[in-house]
Amino acid sequence: MNSPTSGADRPSLSLLRDYLLAVLKHWDAVVVGIVLGWLDLVERIFGTWWIFKPWMRLTTIALGLGVAQFLAYRDLHLVHLRTVADLQKEIDALKVKPFDRQLAELVGQKVRGLDANHLELLRFLLQHGPTERGEMGRRLAWPEAVFNGALQNLKERSLILYEQRLNVGQRGADIFWMANPAFEAVLRDEMFK
């Protein structure tokens, strides 16, 4: 049997209950704690008891209820904002996967200690993609020993890879160098900050 308070109404009723409890707590703090507390203190100091007109009592009740409702709304709103902020932090933390951080640290260790020529060669390969060795040598115009040393060092660090492509109709194969695809995204972040 379906009751009127089943299903989707439960969150609404829970929210209404929380709101009413918050209003009652603030009502107690504002009207009973502050207004009546100060009134009692002033009456004791002057040694008299004041009797207020009905419109003054109703105005005090209405103002006290308005202030209590505002404070309850503010508290619930601040809790909601804190909850949203906490959830956003969790979402942001999940965007950066632990293995991404580890990969970035690994690439940082591999790049650390490279000289300007090595970094320039790495940037070149990241910008131009797989490039034939001879063309790369012509474009960079480095002495052969410097060029070969940079290629060897980057290859030993596994930052770059090469593949041989057979020449159709010609004898031999061309060697194409490229940035290691496993590190390419992290290298782009590291090299082009």
> CB burial class (10 A; 0-12, 13-18, 19+) of residue 54?
exposed
Q: Is the pLDDT of residue 1 over 80?
A: no
Average pLDDT, the chain: 85
Smallest CA-to-CA distance from 135 within 181, 178, 172 is with 178
Chain mean position to CA 104: 18
Report pLDDT for 98. Answer: 58
**Per-residue pLDDT tens over the stretch 72-105:** 989 888 888 888 888 888 887 777 665 577 888 8
Q: Which helix (H) or strand (E) holds 10?
A: helix 9-27
Q: Which helix (H) or strand (E) holds 24?
A: helix 9-27
State the pLDDT at residue 66: 92
Predicted pLDDT at 15: 81
Structure tokens at 155: 């290859």
Q: Where are the domains of the chain?
A: 9-95, 98-191
Residue (of 139, 123, 131) closest to 177 by Cα position? 131
Per-residue pLDDT, 6:
54
User: Is pLDDT larger for residue 65 or for residue 192?
Assistant: 65
Q: In terms of Cα–Cα distance, which of 79, 35, 24, 83 is closest to 59?
A: 35
The larger pLDDT score, comparing residue 66 to residue 166, is at 66
Q: How does pLDDT run across 128-172, given as a tens digit for each residue?
A: 989 888 888 888 888 989 888 999 999 999 889 988 888 777 777
Q: What is the pLDDT of residue 7?
A: 55
Q: State which fold the 98-191 domain adopts.
A: Arc Repressor Mutant, subunit A (1.10.10)
Rounded to 5 degrees, what are φ and ψ at 171?
A: -85, 135
Per-residue pLDDT at 134: 86
Q: What is the pLDDT of residues 112-133, one digit of tens each?
A: 888 888 899 999 999 998 988 8
pLDDT at 20 over 50: yes
* Mean pLDDT calculated for residue range 9-17: 81
**What is the Cα–Cα distance from 167 to 132, expressed in whole angstroms?**
12
